Amino acid sequence: MTDTYKAILIIGDGLGDRPIAELGGKTPLEAANKPNTDRLAAEGECGLMDPIAPGVRAGSDTSHLAILGYDPYKYYTGRGPFEAAGIGMDVKRGDISFRCNFSTVDDSMMIIDRRAGRITEGTSQLAAAVNNMQIGDVTAIFKESVAHRGALVLRGPGLGALVSDTDPHEEGAPVHKCAPLDPNDAAAAKTANAVNEFVKRSYEILKSHPVNIARKEKGLNPANIILPRGAGLAPDLRKFDDLNEVTSACVAETGLIKGVAKYVGMNIVDVPGANGGLDSDVTAIGRAILDSLKSHSFILCNVKGGDVAGHDNQPKAKVAMIERMDQMIGLLLDIVGTDTYIILTADHSTPCAVMDHSGDPVPIAFWGPGVRTDNCKSFGERPVLGGGIGRIRGTDIMKIITNLMGVQEKFGA
Amino acid sequence: MTDTYKAILIIGDGLGDRPIAELGGKTPLEAANKPNTDRLAAEGECGLMDPIAPGVRAGSDTSHLAILGYDPYKYYTGRGPFEAAGIGMDVKRGDISFRCNFSTVDDSMMIIDRRAGRITEGTSQLAAAVNNMQIGDVTAIFKESVAHRGALVLRGPGLGALVSDTDPHEEGAPVHKCAPLDPNDAAAAKTANAVNEFVKRSYEILKSHPVNIARKEKGLNPANIILPRGAGLAPDLRKFDDLNEVTSACVAETGLIKGVAKYVGMNIVDVPGANGGLDSDVTAIGRAILDSLKSHSFILCNVKGGDVAGHDNQPKAKVAMIERMDQMIGLLLDIVGTDTYIILTADHSTPCAVMDHSGDPVPIAFWGPGVRTDNCKSFGERPVLGGGIGRIRGTDIMKIITNLMGVQEKFGA
């Protein structure tokens, strides 16, 4: 450790919201009782942050890419590569990666259940049965994720990512053929052929697999086909630590965020009890941050619960999650020294009324030595208005942090 | 003079700062007694300005390029060309320019004194002895600057700028060989060869030069070698006056700023007594602005002192410099007519605690006829929050000024 200053960047997933009648016209952040979070705002410098650009609805992956300093318009070609990296697959430059579902189809390839009865057991045996499939000069690498989910990586010469999904996204519909988005795109056509062959063979292999025979005997929908979607070409990203002159670790709950972080070379810290839900062990997350801070100068932390409550339109659950996060922030404030910056923001808004990500900006606070403390007294969408940060974008954040940490090279003389 | 409106853009070099305990938690701008400066803010429209982008640590050269409307990411290749132009050298497109030091080496080319005893006299004779050196088809043009400084311009076919420095930046180290950053870059290799030959011959010529023999007799370190660094390819910039429909002059104290201004075709006004220090004759600068305004519609003024105090961590000296600048602004306010805009900002922050340029934004005020006066009452990092300008970038400034002046062409119909 040669760095003088350290920084903890806390992303409350989907924390931004809109005024909610049930909360007296406040947002969950404005309604929550969160003394530690508000201390960050009162002692720090506040503003609004657009993860991508004003009004743009960000995904968690594109937003985290932007927040970490990588322009998603330049580097994001699809969710697949980050999802695959997030479950520990070794994605290489040039690979085409997909998110997948185990699904249930009938003999005519009609979808009976997109999620194969939300299967939870036996998927690793099913995955092993289709993994390392050779399709001409293309190798199909498959790994299961949680429940009915998994990821497919196609590796071979001359593959393109611009192909359609096989998942029709509704039951009672036929499995879609993967096709190149542009019929003249030979690389995409090669990928589509490999995908279609993988899907066909997955059905042939899985329909009579012992795991599925046992499921049928129990009256459960068999996981008898794998449906890839969200194709993406693995982008060539510069390592985060090299770009920012830090030693970094990521403390996150979901595979997607861990995948983005792993992809840019951050050390991934797994936290037992950090389950991504409303009952996640936030104290364990806080301890993992403090522990990682001993050997790293920069910690990225994502806490997922607020987003879950937003997707489920549960304003009070969102308030409660913000209050639980506040305890974690209190733990950090008790322990960190005067050499540590804490930056708090969200990766996007997930308004309860929308039940999905929205393009509304999110609050941000920079706390630590030398920041230009402003008049903002609490952390929320409207309390940060008029703060010293004004309105910035996700790609500005690491520049501001490395400036405060004193590790950024000067541009010019 | 056919222009209706005029504008004076005053750049307080390094004027931005962070809260300082010694100043009661205020920044130097916030702590200073500066009624004229505050009048600009109270009667004008205020906000924050990022010279390059939020958090980005700007040099004075990159910042001035941006403020004058030239994207430094596109046009800035190194400090050399602006430094050379600043001391009156005629830098042409395609030239490779370097900043140089006169240094002292021993017979084995080890650095004894990087600044040759901070030599102040005789450098023009030394420069004349190495100037116009022919190295193959490359001409090496050298000119002395103040003290131990100088600039080298290499002119010839097929030269590249991507080469390393010869100055090891420490005493007791050997002179570095100039080398191409990429070994396959033939243009850079040609430049590197010319630089190394220039350095070698400079030693051969200077070691026995009468100026150095006299220095040695006085016990002073001889200026017996010239060490180029900061190579830059002269960018092809459109003339400032053509871009902005103004007739411009630059009143500045340092060679670097004069160099940028000269490079974009501004008239350079030299001001006796404007020495770039904390005791610079700011009244003389103010008079030079007013005098230049008779024959120009746009004046760029840079006052250096605040930056010096920041680099030296002298908060009270920075406050005093701001108060001296305030007298200059008072002089301008007494004299200029209702046809004149005054715009006040800084080229970057040089926080006393950092003792170098930082990426913190700086305040900006636009004063003059028709501006949308806001609620800001004084000029400082936090007093301008909530002002009408919000948070803008350096490259926005000339658009806002030429819009106010009424000289900007409409984009569209």
Q: How confident is the model at residue A366 (pLDDT cuts 50, 70, 90)?
A: very high
Residue owning tokens 């001391």? B87
Partner residue facing A408 (CB), from B25, B48, B359: B359
Res B358: pLDDT: 98
Is residue B86 less than 8 Å (CB to CB) from chain A?
A: no
The set of residues, in sequence order, having a beta carbon less than 8 Å from that of B288 and lying 6+ positions away, is B251, B269, B271, B274
Residue owning tokens 């988005």? A181
Distance from CA of A237 to the nearest CA of B (A): 20
Distance CA(A40)–CA(A340), nearest Å, equals 12
Average pLDDT over residues A55-71: 96
The set of residues, in sequence order, having a beta carbon less than 8 Å from that of B129 and lying 6+ positions away, is B205, B206, B209
Burial B341-363 (b: 16+ CB within 10 A, else e): bbbbbbbbbbbbbbeebbbbbbb
Q: Please say whether the beta carbons of B332 and B289 come within 8 A.
A: yes
- Inspect the interface and report whether the beta carbons of B61 and A373 lie closer than 8 Å: no
Res A93: pLDDT: 83
Question: Above 60 in pLDDT, residue B2?
Answer: no
For the stretch B238-265, pLDDT in tens is 999 999 999 999 999 988 899 899 999 9
Average pLDDT over residues A321-347: 97
- Give A411's contacts in chain B (Cβ within 8 Å): 52, 56-59, 62, 72, 76
For the stretch B65-115, pLDDT in tens is 999 999 999 998 888 888 898 788 988 888 999 999 999 999 999 999 999
Residue owning tokens 């007519």? B337
For the stretch A393-407, pLDDT in tens is 999 999 999 999 999
Using alpha carbons, list the distances in angstroms from residue A408 to A246, A398, B133, B357.
10, 10, 39, 11
- Give B353's contacts in chain A (Cβ within 8 Å): 370
Is residue B355 less than 8 Å (CB to CB) from chain A?
A: no
- Inspect the interface and report whether the beta carbons of A396 and B54 lie closer than 8 Å: yes
Q: How confident is the model at residue B307 (pLDDT cuts 50, 70, 90)?
A: very high
Is residue A411 less than 8 Å (CB to CB) from chain B?
A: yes
Partner residue facing B54 (CB), from A375, A387, A400: A400
Other residues' Cβ atoms within 10 Å of the Cβ of residue A171 = 13
Angle subtended at Cα A142 by Cα A136 and Cα A147, rounded to the nearest 5 degrees: 150
Res B79: pLDDT: 83
- Inspect the interface and report whether the beta carbons of B230 and A402 lie closer than 8 Å: no
Q: Please say whether the beta carbons of B124 and B144 come within 8 A.
A: yes
Is residue B358 less than 8 Å (CB to CB) from chain A?
A: yes
- Give A370's contacts in chain B (Cβ within 8 Å): 18-19, 351, 353-354
Partner residue facing B385 (CB), from A386, A399, A402: A386
- Inspect the interface and report whether the beta carbons of B72 and A398 lie closer than 8 Å: no
Distance from CA of B346 to the nearest CA of A (A): 15
- Give B357's contacts in chain A (Cβ within 8 Å): 410
Average pLDDT over residues A252-264: 91
For the stretch A133-179, pLDDT in tens is 999 999 999 999 888 999 999 999 999 999 999 999 889 999 999 99
Partner residue facing A388 (CB), from B230, B359, B385: B385
- Inspect the interface and report whether the beta carbons of A370 and B79 lie closer than 8 Å: no
3-state secondary structure chain B: CCCCCEEEEEEECCEECCCEHHHCCECHHHHCCCHHHHHHHHHCEEEEEECCCCCCCECHHHHHHHHCCCCHHHHCCCCHHHHHHHCCCCCCCCCEEEEEEEEEECCCCEEEECCHHHCCCCHHHHHHHHCCEEECCEEEEEEECCCCEEEEEEECCCCCCCECCCCCCCCCCECCCCCECCCCCHHHHHHHHHHHHHHHHHHHHHCCCHHHHHHHHCCCCCCCEEEEEEEEECCCCCCHHHHHCCCEEEECCCHHHHHHHHHCCCEEECCCCCCCCCCCCHHHHHHHHHHHCCCCCEEEEEECHHHHHHHCCCHHHHHHHHHHHHHHHHHHHHHCCCCEEEEEEECCECCCCCCCCECCCEEEEEECCCCCCCCCCCCCCCCCCCCCCEEEEHHHHHHHHHHHHCCCCCCCC
Is residue B201 less than 8 Å (CB to CB) from chain A?
A: no
Nearest CA in chain B to A413: B59
Is residue B336 less than 8 Å (CB to CB) from chain A?
A: no
Is residue B22 less than 8 Å (CB to CB) from chain A?
A: no
For the stretch A106-139, pLDDT in tens is 999 999 999 999 898 999 999 999 999 999 999 9
Average pLDDT over residues A342-351: 98
What's the half-sphere exposure (Cβ side, CA atoms, 13 Å) at A400? 33
Question: Which one of B29, B57, B167 would you mutate to disrupt binding with A, by most A Cβ within 10 Å of its Cβ?
Answer: B57
Name the CATH superfamily for A6-76+238-405: Alkaline Phosphatase, subunit A (3.40.720.10)
Is residue B55 less than 8 Å (CB to CB) from chain A?
A: yes
Question: Above 50 in pLDDT, residue A323?
Answer: yes
Question: Above 90 in pLDDT, residue A1?
Answer: no
Average pLDDT over residues B281-296: 98
For the stretch B309-330, pLDDT in tens is 999 999 999 999 999 999 999 9
State chain B's mean pLDDT as an integer: 95
Determine which helix (DSSP H) or strand (DSSP E) holds A220, and give its type and residue range.
Answer: none
Average pLDDT over residues A300-320: 97
- Give A406's contacts in chain B (Cβ within 8 Å): 354
Distance from CA of B390 to the nearest CA of A (A): 7
pTM: 0.88
Domain ranges of chain A: 6-76+238-405, 82-233
Determine which helix (DSSP H) or strand (DSSP E) holds A352, and give its type and residue range.
Answer: none
- Inspect the interface and report whether the beta carbons of B19 and A399 lie closer than 8 Å: no
Is residue B357 less than 8 Å (CB to CB) from chain A?
A: yes
Res B64: pLDDT: 97
Distance CA(B286)–CA(B296), nearest Å, equals 15
Q: How confident is the model at residue B1 (pLDDT cuts 50, 70, 90)?
A: very low
Structure tokens at B315: 């908060």
Question: Above 80 in pLDDT, residue A219?
Answer: yes
Distance from CA of A392 to the nearest CA of B (A): 8
Res A146: pLDDT: 82
Question: Above 60 in pLDDT, residue A77?
Answer: yes
| Percent of chain A residues topping a pLDDT of 70 | 99
Question: Above 60 in pLDDT, residue A327?
Answer: yes
- Inspect the interface and report whether the beta carbons of B54 and A412 lie closer than 8 Å: no
Least confident of A3-12, B30-39, B245-254: A3-12
Q: Please say whether the beta carbons of B385 and B50 come within 8 A.
A: no
Average pLDDT over residues A373-382: 98
- Inspect the interface and report whether the beta carbons of A410 and B57 lie closer than 8 Å: yes
Res B178: pLDDT: 97
Find residues 360-389 of chain A whose CB sits inside 8 Å of chain B.
370-375, 386-388
Q: Please say whether the beta carbons of B202 and B225 come within 8 A.
A: yes
- Inspect the interface and report whether the beta carbons of A403 and B55 lie closer than 8 Å: yes
Distance from CA of B58 to the nearest CA of A (A): 5
| Percent of chain B residues topping a pLDDT of 70 | 99
